[in-house]
Structure 1
Amino acid sequence: MTRAIRQATARVPGSKSVTARALLIAALADGTTRLREPLVAADTVAFAEGVASLGLPVTRDAGVWTVTGDPGGPSAAAATVWCHDSGTAARFLPALAALGRGEYVVDASAQMRARPMGPLLDALRQLGVGVQAQEGDRLPLVVRGGRVSGGTVRLDAGVSSQYLTALCLAAPAMEKGLRIEIEDIVSVPYVELTLAMMRDFGVDATWEGSTIVVPPGTYQAREYRIEADASTASYFFAAAAVTGNTVVVPGLGRHCVQGDLRFATEVLASMGCRVEVGADEVAVTGPERLRSPGEVVMRDISDTMMTLAAIAPYADAPVRITDVANCRVKESDRIDAITTALGVCGITTRTGPDWLEIEPGQPHGGVVETRADHRIAMSMSVTGLRAAGIELDDPSCVAKTFPGFHEEFAALRTAWARS
C-alpha cells in the first residue's frame, strides 16, 4: 500500500547571519544600502540599534531596512552600544566601534556577559586599538576608536568564528587592510559566507591555508535581498523528517550561501529523507522510519546540533554527535541543555566534553527548561510532534530569532492535517 504523504509550505524569516553581516557592511559602505526582507527579531534589532548608536543611521521600515554608510567608520563622539542577548552584535560591533572617532561602551545582558570575548579583544589590541574589559575578557567593554592602520594579526577562532568574521568585515576600512593568521577555527561555512558577502559589496578577500588577506577598500552600497534563515529552516525540515510528511521552505535554494543548509542536504538525507533543492526553495520529505546516521561531525554546522539531537530518539539506532565543544559556550551550555531536556522526556543520553550520544526511544511529556535559549525551545518543539505533553518553561525566548515561530509551527501542523 502506498504511503500517503502530506505537503505544506513553511515561511521562514530572513537569515540572522546574513542580516547582521549586511548591516555592518552597509554601515561602512559608500552610499545608502537597502536591505530587503531582513530578519526582524530581537537579535537583529539589537544589532541595527547598535549600528545607529554609533552614528550610522538605520531606518527600519516594513520589509526594507535602509542604512546610510560611512567608509570612514562611526561618527559618534561617544555612545553606549547595548547588545541585549545578541552574541553576533557583541562580537561584531566592537570591531566596528574600533574604526570610530570616539569612546564607546559595549555592553549586553547577563547572559552575554558570561560569554568569552578574549580572542577578539586580543586581536584588536594587536592592532593598537584601546580596549578595556571590566571582567577579564568579558563584557562590558570600553573601546577607544581611532585610525586603525591594520597589518598582520593572529587570531584563535576555535571557540567562535564570529571573532574572525568581525575582523574581516572591518578590515577594508583599515589603512593597510588586514592579514589574519588563523590558529584554529570552527564553523568554517560562516566565514565563507562572510567573504562571499564582502565580494557582493565590492571587496575581494583571499583565503589560502590558514591565512585570510583583506585588502583596503570601500564597500559599494547596493540593494541586497536577505535569503531565508537556514538554521531556522532546520526545525521545519526536521518536522517533516519525524512525521513522514513534506515541507517546502521558500527563500532557500541551490544558490544558498549558508552552510547550515547542509543539515538538510547531508544529515537528513543520510537519515533517509528525500531532499530536493530548487532555484528558490527546498523541499524535505521524511521516510517511514528515520535511519540513524551513526556518528555526525557537526563542527561546521553546530547551530543545528540540537535539531539533530531533538529528532535522534526517533531514529532506528543511537545517534552520536561529535566535535561540538563550542556548543558549551553559546547562549547556554547546549550539550548539557539538550541532553537534560531529552532526559526530562525519558530519553537516555551520554555526553563528553565535545560530544553527545542519544539512544532511540519514545519521549514522554515533561517541562523543558529552555535556559532562555531559542534553539532549545525550537528543537524540543520538533520532538513534541510525536510526544504529547512536552511543555516549554519559556516559549517566548524564540523572539531572539523568530518571534512568530510557534504560530508558523502550528500552521504547518494544521496544513498537514488538512492536506
Structure 2
Amino acid sequence: MSVRPPDPAGPPRPAPSSAPFTARVPGSKSITNRALLLAAAAVGTTRLRAPLVSDDTLAFRTALTGVGVRVDAAPHDAYWDVTGGGGAPAGGGRIWCADAGTAARFLPPFAAAGSGTFVFDGSAQLRARPSRPLTDALTRLGATVRTAPDGSLPLVVDAAGLDGGGLTLDGSLSSQYLSGLLMAAPLFRTPLVVDVAGLVSRPYVDMTLALMRHFGTEAAEGPDGRIEVRPGGYEAADLTVEPDASTASYLFAAAAVTGRTVTVPGLGAGSLQGDLRFVEVLRRAGARVEVTWDATTVTGTGRLRGGFDVDMGDISDTFMTLAAIAPLADAPVTIRGIGHARLKESDRIAVVARNLAACGVVTETGPDRLTVHPGRPEPALIACHRDHRIAMAFSVLGLGAPGVLTLDDPDCVGKTFPGFHAELNRLCPEYEPPAPGALATSGAAAPAPHRQ
C-alpha cells in the first residue's frame, strides 16, 4: 500500500468533498460464523444470503464440512445453503482452524456435545492465542479434553455428549468462550447455567443470543447476569448477513480523514453489531454522523478533534481504527478498556504503538490503554504481524500522512476483507493499492518517543 504525498506546502488532508460515496462492505464475519454453526446444528436447510467470503469464514465453513455438515454455495457465493444434522456432530474428525479464532472457540463445544474424537489445530498465530478458559469450562462440564502442555492448540475432544449444569466462566480474555458454550448448550442433555466474571465485548454475546433466538432457541438471563439455556435444539431459519461493522469502521474513518461522505447501506440502527458504535466515537472526533434504521453515513469536516478519553472495551476491534487516525487530531486521544486486545491476532496495543512510533508519533501505553499524541506522520514501513486490522487501520492513516506508509503484508486483509485495497482506492483515488502478493521493502523513519 502506498499513498501519493500531497503538496508539502498544503494541509495534510484534502478539503472536504460533497460527493457522497456508497461503500461496498462485505458481510459480518461474526454473524456469518455464528450463523454457520447454528445452521449446522439445526433441523433442515438454512440459506445464508450475502455471507462474508474471506479466509476466516472459509476456514469455518471447511471445518464444518469436515465433520459432516453439507454446505452448498451459489455462483459467486451469493448465498450458502447449510443442511444441518439436527444436533451435534458424530464420528469425530480432524479440524483445521487456520487463523480463525471463532472456529477454535465455537467448534469444540459443538463437538463435545456430540460423539467421537475431534482434533482441533491451527496456524502458529492461532496456537499462540489462549484457549484455557474454554478447555477448563468443557472439562468442568464433563468433557474429556487434551491440549498442548501450555493449554493451547492442538486441542483433542473425546466427545460423549454433555450434561450441562452450573458453570462459572472467566470472560475477561474474550467473549468468544461464552458464545461458543451458549450456542452448543441447546444440544446438551440438561440445562446450562453460566455465571460470567469480567465479561469483555458484551455486544458480541448479545449478538449470539439474538441469533440463537432467530434459530428457535431462547436463553433466559437473570438480573444477576446469569444466563440459562435449556435443551431443545435449533430449527433452520434463512438469514441475510448484514455488512460488517468492524470493517466499515475503516471506510467511515477514511471519510472523517479526507472530508468525504461515506454511506454503508444495510448497516443501521437495526444492526446486531455493537461495533457500529464506532461512529459515535467519530462524532466526538468532529465528524458528522447520521444513523437511520438501515444505513449509516459519516461525513468528514476537514479536521479531527482530539482531547478526549474513551472506553472502547465493548468495541475493541475498532480501537485500532481510532488509534491510527488519532495523530491527525488537534489534541491527544486516550483509549481505555482494551487490555484483552493484547491477546488477539497480535498484541494490538503494542503493535499500534510501535508502528506509530515508526511514523514519528508519540504514544503512551498501559496494560489496558493507549494515548496517541498529535503529530505529522513520517514515511514508514508498517509491521502488520499478519493482523488484518493493523493493515487496514494504517492504510487509513496513510490517507492523511504527508509521506508514504507501506505495509509489509498487505495481503493479510484477506482474513476479513479481501477487496479492501480496491475499495479504499474507489473511495480515495489518491490511495494506491499494492500489487497482489507484493511485499514492501522500504525503510522506516526513526522511532519517536514511546512511554510504557
Asked if Structure 1 and Structure 2 have the same fold, meaning a TM-score greater than 0.5 normalized by the shorter chain, the answer is: yes
Alpha-carbon offset, residue 383 of structure 1: 0.1
Residue 42 of structure 1 corresponds to: 55
- CA contact 1:86–1:112 (8 Å) conserved in 2: yes
The whole-number CA distance in structure 2 between the counterparts of 1:135 and 1:63 is 42
The whole-number CA distance in structure 1 between the counterparts of 2:405 and 2:17 is 27
- CA contact 1:270–1:293 (8 Å) conserved in 2: no
Pair 1:172-2:209 in alignment: no
- CA contact 2:175–2:199 (8 Å) conserved in 1: yes
Pair 1:401-2:416 in alignment: yes
Q: Which has the higher relative contact order, 1 or 2, with Cα contacts under 8 A spaced 6 or more apart?
A: 2
The whole-number CA distance in structure 2 between the counterparts of 1:36 and 1:331 is 28
Distance change >3 Å, CA 293–CA 49, structure 1 → 2: farther
Residue 349 of structure 2 corresponds to: 335
The whole-number CA distance in structure 1 between the counterparts of 2:270 and 2:303 is 30
Residue 29 of structure 2 corresponds to: 16
Pair 1:80-2:94 in alignment: yes
Distance change >3 Å, CA 397–CA 105, structure 1 → 2: same
Q: Which structure 1 residue ranges, 5 or more long, are not aligned? A: none
Residue 107 of structure 2 corresponds to: 93
Q: Provide the identity percentage.
A: 53
Give me the TM-score of the superposition, normalised by structure 1.
0.96
Q: After superposition, give the CA deviation of every residue in 1:340-359 in whole Å (9 maximum; x if it has no partner).
A: 11111111101111111000
User: Matched residue of 1:408: which SS?
Assistant: helix
The one-letter code sitting in structure 1 at the alignment partner of 2:125 is Q
The whole-number CA distance in structure 2 between the counterparts of 1:134 and 1:343 is 36
Q: After superposition, give the CA deviation of every residue in 1:375-396 in whole Å (9 maximum; x if it has no partner).
A: 0000000000011310000000
Residue 155 of structure 1 corresponds to: 169
Residue 246 of structure 2 corresponds to: 231
Residue 273 of structure 2 corresponds to: 258
- CA contact 1:8–1:415 (8 Å) conserved in 2: no
Aligned with residue 411 of structure 1, among 426, 430, 436 = 426
Q: Which structure 2 residue ranges, 5 or more long, are not aligned? A: 1-14, 432-452
The whole-number CA distance in structure 2 between the counterparts of 1:135 and 1:248 is 48
User: Matched residue of 1:69: which SS?
Assistant: strand
Q: Calculate the aligned-residue CA RMSD, in Å.
A: 1.4
Q: How many residues align?
A: 413
The whole-number CA distance in structure 2 between the counterparts of 1:4 and 1:51 is 46
Aligned with residue 346 of structure 1, among 343, 360, 382 = 360
Pair 1:51-2:79 in alignment: no
- CA contact 1:29–1:221 (8 Å) conserved in 2: yes
The one-letter code sitting in structure 2 at the alignment partner of 1:64 is Y
Alpha-carbon offset, residue 361 of structure 1: 1.1
User: Matched residue of 1:254: which SS?
Assistant: coil
**Runs (4+) of structure 1 moved beyond 6 Å?**
none
In the TM superposition, what are the counterparts of 1:25-40 in structure 2 within 5 Å?
Answer: 25-40=38-53
Q: After superposition, give the CA deviation of every residue in 1:61-116 in whole Å (9 maximum; x if it has no partner).
A: 321111111233113x2311000001111111111111222101000000000111
The one-letter code sitting in structure 1 at the alignment partner of 2:327 is P
Residue 234 of structure 2 corresponds to: 219
- CA contact 1:183–1:210 (8 Å) conserved in 2: no
Pair 1:130-2:147 in alignment: no
- CA contact 1:314–1:362 (8 Å) conserved in 2: yes
The whole-number CA distance in structure 2 between the counterparts of 1:254 and 1:186 is 22
User: Matched residue of 2:82: which SS?
Assistant: strand
- CA contact 2:285–2:306 (8 Å) conserved in 1: yes
- CA contact 1:328–1:334 (8 Å) conserved in 2: yes
Residue 124 of structure 2 corresponds to: 110
The whole-number CA distance in structure 2 between the counterparts of 1:214 and 1:104 is 24
The whole-number CA distance in structure 1 between the counterparts of 2:303 and 2:87 is 56
Aligned with residue 285 of structure 1, among 299, 303, 328 = 299
The whole-number CA distance in structure 2 between the counterparts of 1:182 and 1:193 is 16
Give me the TM-score of the superposition, normalised by structure 2.
0.89
Pair 1:186-2:217 in alignment: no
Q: After superposition, give the CA deviation of every residue in 1:239-274 in whole Å (9 maximum; x if it has no partner).
A: 01111111111220120010000001x201111211
User: Matched residue of 1:414: which SS?
Assistant: coil
Aligned with residue 309 of structure 2, among 285, 291, 295 = 295
The whole-number CA distance in structure 1 between the counterparts of 2:177 and 2:45 is 26
